[in-house]
Each structure stands twice: as structure tokens, then as C-alpha cells.
Amino acid sequence: MTFIAPPQASLRIALIGECMIELQQRSDGELNQSFGGDTLNTAVYLRRLVAAKWQVSYVTALGDDSFSDAMCTAWASEGLDLSLVQRLPGRLPGLYCIQTDAQGERRFLYWRNEAAVRECFTQAAAAQVLTALDDYCVFYLSGVTLAVLGEAGLDRVLPRLIAARARGAKLVFDNNYRPRLWRDRQQATDTYQRLLPHLDLALLTLDDEQALFEEADVESIFKRYRQMGVNEVVIKRGGHSCLLQYHGALHEVAATRVARVIDSTAAGDAFSAAYLACRLQGGIPQQSAAEGHRLAGRVIQYPGAIIAREAMPGSSA
């Protein structure tokens, strides 16, 4: 069974979230500057993987500063549609720093409380964005999206997405739970529950799901999503195999092994992009998971969130 049946000749996909200024601290203390954010990472990789005639739009709010200008230039160079990107006068994007240890594990430092994205759906101009979303077939957002939009923003956008799903659109969610973005765990679980029963595809990181909902084991997670009516659930387990539940059937798909991990930044985002790209183009869940592992395995061999196009799987790199 395909994710969208029948596969459409032309498809519009909207990814909603936040991109930040990314600073990567090298071992010598030098900082390399780029841009990143979970949904933006997924948007870039998805754009590279799906049919060229499909429209992949990024939905966010930025400032009117030079960093925001550079973000838009970079996104346009990747082929992302920017028609739903708001530019808010006097505002700035968020910023984060990645510190990576010898094993490739990451530590993040964030400066994002005043980021423009927090007003993405609360400004007057957001009305046009919300109306435009009615024309999209697939929506992708994450736990970070839920946190940074805030209650007021979610009150405006979630009903729109749920109504679109009732008309046949698909909702895809990556759990990406970041405790520091929430007042407490109860606030996070309450907010997640507003969206979870409406999902068509849940892409879950095991550690995040257990931290958020205090699940005892994988079966408890699968059971909870079955009871909510979510028919397709993927549990990502880092460098280990992922587990799938699809219309009640369980599957396990081995991870791609690599000789050395340089940087695990965006591995989960890349997995989600490749999984969704394969599903949208007619792949079955097991095949899609294999593609997710393949891209994630390539991404962790390079520093930073977004690898060069020539480093993508299937290239000569």
C-alpha cells in the first residue's frame, strides 16, 4: 500500500519548523558557521530525493537581517519553495552551537528565546500562509515545531492541518523531544497529544519517546500508537536497527554500518527524509527504512547537519 494512493504526478509538501544559525566548534576551538534545524534538515534532504516537479515548501518565520537573507539564499539554492517563509521586521533567527566529542556524540547550546519563528502563526501576515496550506497534500512537523510555535501558534495551525487531513492530506511527525524547550514534561505531553491521534506516519526516536512518555519498552510504544489509530510507526534506535509497525504488522530493518562516525548531527532528520521520500514514491515501509538508514549512515560520516550534494548516497563520493 502506497503512502499516497495513487502516487500523484504533482505533489506539494510543507515542512513546518525552525532553522537557526549553526556554529560548529572544532577541536581547536574555531567556529564554523552554517544553518540548521531539524525540519529544515529534513526539508533539504527530502528536496534532493523526491521528484523534481514536486514542490517542497519550508514554512517558518525569519527576521530582516543578513543571516536571514543568507538562509533564504541557501534554501533557494537547494530548490526549496520559500513562498511560505515570513520575514518579520526587527526580528532575528535563533542560534545554536554544536560541540562534538571524540566519539561523534553531540552537545548543543541554544540561544532561541526571541527567535522570529515564535510568531510564525500569530502575526497578521500568517493568515495568508494558513490559507495557502489548504493546497498542500503532505505536512511534516516535529516536536521542536510544537515547542517553538507555542500555544498561540498551535491554536491557529493545528486545526488547519487536521482539517486538511480530513480532506485526504497526510500528517507526518518526528517526535524530537527537547526538554529544555518546555516548561516541564507535562506541558510537552499535553501538547504532543493534541497532534498524535491525527498522524498518518510517526517517526520516533526511541530515547525521546521513552523520556517523554516514560514507556517501559517498545511494545508499549507501539500499543499506544495503535490505540490512537496511527497505522504507520517507525522507531529509530540510533546506530541499531529500526522497528516498524504498519497496520499491525511488525518489522525490523538493519542499520547501515559505517567504519567511523564523524558527527551524528541530523542523522535522524536524514533518516526521516529518506523514509518519507521513498514512501511518497511508492516504496513499502521496509524499503523506506532501508533508504533511511542508508542516508543517515552517509550523513554521520561528515561534519554538520547538511552534507554536500556530491556526498549523497549514489554519488561518486
Q: List the catalytic residues.
A: 269
Smallest CA-to-CA distance from 182 within 221, 153, 213, 143 is with 143
For cell 530548490, the residue is 79
Q: What does R_g of the chain's alpha carbons equal in angstroms?
A: 18
C-beta neighbour count of 218 within 10 angstroms: 17
Q: Do residues 179 and 211 lie in contact, with contact meaning Cβ atoms separated by under 8 Å?
A: yes
Residues near 31 by Cβ (< 8 Å), separated by ≥ 6?
Answer: 23, 24, 25, 97
Dihedral sign of CA atoms 208, 210, 214, 220 in order = positive
β-pair type (242-246, 249-253): antiparallel
